[in-house]
Amino acid sequence: MPLRASILRVSTPVAGPEYISHKFQFVLTLLRPLAGLLLGGAALVAPSVVVPAQTPAAATVAAVEPGKRPSRVVLTWRDDPARSQAVTWRTEVSVDEAFAELAEASANPGFGALARRAPARTTPVTSGTVTAYYHEARFTALRPDTLYAYRVGDGAIWSEWFHFRTAALEPAPFSFIYLGDAQNDIRSLWSRAIRSAFMDAPRARFVVHAGDLVNTGESDEQWGEWFGAGSWLNAMIPQVPAVGNHEYARIDRGAARQLSEFWRPQFALPEDGPEGLSETVYSFDFQGVRMIVLNSEEPSRFDDQATWLEGRLKDNKNRWTIVAFHQPVFSVAVGRDNAALRQAWKPLFDKYGVDLVLQGHDHTYGRGEPSPDGQTRRDDAATVYVVSVSGPKTYEVGGAETWATRTGSHVQLYQVITISPQALRFEARTVTGQLFDAFELTKNRSGRRRLLDRKPDLWSAY
């Protein structure tokens, strides 16, 4: 039987960044091999060891020198996933021309002879004393449900060949990965979340990030860790990021917070959102799912986003609807509540029957399906709300008993969501691969949902 976590507690985190006193580090080192998990009710609680938040000191925002060889290659979408694909990468500024080459993938290694070349658009980004070129190429007029191979470079120095598959035109089964905040110790600890998720779902069609991909949005060094953690996976599986508060910063003291200068050059995203929120509010359709991403970091634009959101929900012909953003409708962590966001967006989720809302920010886990009127904690026909965390920075659960049917703290998680025309299956797993939460949504012909709760008994599962 595992040791109770209370024996191992060094500090009790509340909300906001917490720090572990250096004089207890040796105690943690001695006790870590003995650490067990305290599992009670619906929550998984591990020792209260919270990774210190990184501060935006000079060392944190140091730039990483680019080279002539393409780096930070990442797939995203600007347009229809069935007929297009976007890719971005970066180089040093001596690379004044950049291209991407594309061919239908073949087991014959001579496929490259049939490749067509697409020119890239280049954007310079300066971080400290280092300037890098960010290149974006778009592949268009693609065939649906087709495997392609591509590479990027300057015509002389190329990346390796990567593969991607376009979406099918009609609804068809697929899986995708959902990750909460990465934010801290990205290379050393968050890397195991993205890699474990891939091992569990190697055929995932895209990865949704619910904000706070890094701790300091202007840190080229931290973005380098994020790209390094995903490495070639980013170049094979399209990324679907939502902005978090840590992707915003005040460049000058007293100035308004603004989106990281790295966001748009490194992620080529749909530009169908409200004016002024380009590539932070967007949507796309994928094999029977409408995926909508919102920006929770612009409170003055909540109403504008609500107007746009209603349009995307009203004209939705897809069987499933999923919405992702950073700060949650219902909070899990102590002392947090996003009333203005909830008031602006939740009525639309209820009115148009959004199936699933994926969120981050609270550095804990919570999943629930409260009734639209808030009077019932469990309504099997209601929208399912999930808050999760994939990085090592964690907070205590608090206040979630009013809406959540499963909670957890001090655990790194990833989620795999599998969708077919008949059902949506959700699994949350720890980075060690153990099942933490699960449910299934089904719909009848009229579109009425039914939730089957499949969460494990955590006492027996660990």
Cα three-residue angle 38-43-45, rounded to 5 degrees: 35
- Dist. CA 170–CA 287, nearest whole Å: 6
Query: What is the value of pTM for the model shown?
Result: 0.86
Please give the average per-residue pLDDT across 204-212, as a whole number: 98
Pair 277, 381 in one domain: yes
Pair 263, 371 in one domain: yes
Total domains present in the chain = 3
Q: What is the 3-state secondary structure (H, E, C) of 8-21?
A: HCCCCCCCCCCCCC
Pair 228, 356 in one domain: yes
Pair 354, 408 in one domain: yes
Please give the average per-residue pLDDT across 55-70, as a whole number: 67
Pair 271, 328 in one domain: yes
Helices 302-314 and 339-351 pack at an angle, to 10 degrees, of 10
pLDDT at 343 over 90: yes
Q: Percent of the chain beyond pLDDT 90?
A: 75
Pair 415, 368 in one domain: yes
Q: Is 50 among the domain residues? A: no
**Residue 236 φ/ψ region, left for φ over 0, alpha for ψ in the -120 to 50 degree band, beta for the rest:** alpha
Pair 355, 434 in one domain: yes
Q: Is 369 among the domain residues? A: yes
Q: What is the pLDDT of residue 169?
A: 97
CB within 8 Å of 200: residues ≥ 6 apart: 414, 416, 429, 433
Pair 231, 131 in one domain: no
**Residue 11 φ/ψ region, left for φ over 0, alpha for ψ in the -120 to 50 degree band, beta for the rest:** beta
Q: Is 52 among the domain residues? A: no
pLDDT at 4 over 70: no
Dump the DSSP string for 193-208: HHHHHHHH-TT---EE
Q: Is 62 among the domain residues? A: no
pLDDT, tens digit, for every residue of 313-331? 999 999 999 999 999 999 9
Query: Listing from the earlier edge strand, what are the strands of the sheet with 406-409?
Result: 38-40, 43-45, 406-409, 365-368, 384-387, 356-359, 320-324, 289-293, 282-286
pLDDT, tens digit, for every residue of 152-204? 999 999 999 999 999 999 999 999 999 999 999 999 999 999 999 999 999 99
DSSP class of residue 387 equals E
Query: Listing from the earlier edge strand, what are the strands of the sheet with 162-165?
Result: 116-119, 99-104, 147-153, 162-165
pLDDT at 47 over 70: no
Pair 182, 153 in one domain: no
Domain boundary among 114, 133, 165: 165
Rg of the Cα atoms in the chain: 22
pLDDT at 40 over 70: no
**Selected residue with higher pLDDT from 447 and 355:** 355
- Dist. CA 49–CA 51, nearest whole Å: 7
**What range does the domain containing 115 cover?**
71-165
Pair 182, 101 in one domain: no
Q: Is 123 among the domain residues? A: yes
Please give the single-letter amino acid code of residue 335. G
Which residue in 56, 74, 429, 54 sits closest to 265, CA to CA? 74
Q: Is 79 among the domain residues? A: yes
Residue 158's CATH number: 2.60.40.380
Q: Is 53 among the domain residues? A: no
Residue 437's CATH number: 3.60.21.10
- Dist. CA 87–CA 135, nearest whole Å: 8
Q: What is the pLDDT of residue 251?
A: 73
pLDDT at 398 over 70: yes
pLDDT, tens digit, for every residue of 225-277? 999 999 999 999 999 999 999 999 877 777 788 999 999 999 999 999 999 99
- Dist. CA 304–CA 433, nearest whole Å: 40
Q: What is the pLDDT of residue 444?
A: 87
Q: Is 388 among the domain residues? A: yes
Q: What is the pLDDT of residue 376?
A: 67
CA distances from 427 to 179, 291, 359, 437 (A): 12, 18, 15, 6
pLDDT interval class at 18 (50, 70, 90): very low
Q: What is the pLDDT of residue 17?
A: 36
Pair 106, 234 in one domain: no
Domain boundary among 114, 132, 165: 165
- Dist. CA 379–CA 208, nearest whole Å: 26
CA distances from 71 to 68, 208, 262, 296, 448 (A): 9, 21, 14, 30, 46
- Dist. CA 43–CA 111, nearest whole Å: 51
**Selected residue with higher pLDDT from 16 and 135:** 135
Q: What is the pLDDT of residue 64?
A: 78
pLDDT interval class at 60 (50, 70, 90): very low
Which residue in 433, 373, 2 sits closest to 193, CA to CA? 433
Q: How many CA atoms lie within 13 A of 304 on its CB side?
A: 13
Pair 339, 272 in one domain: yes
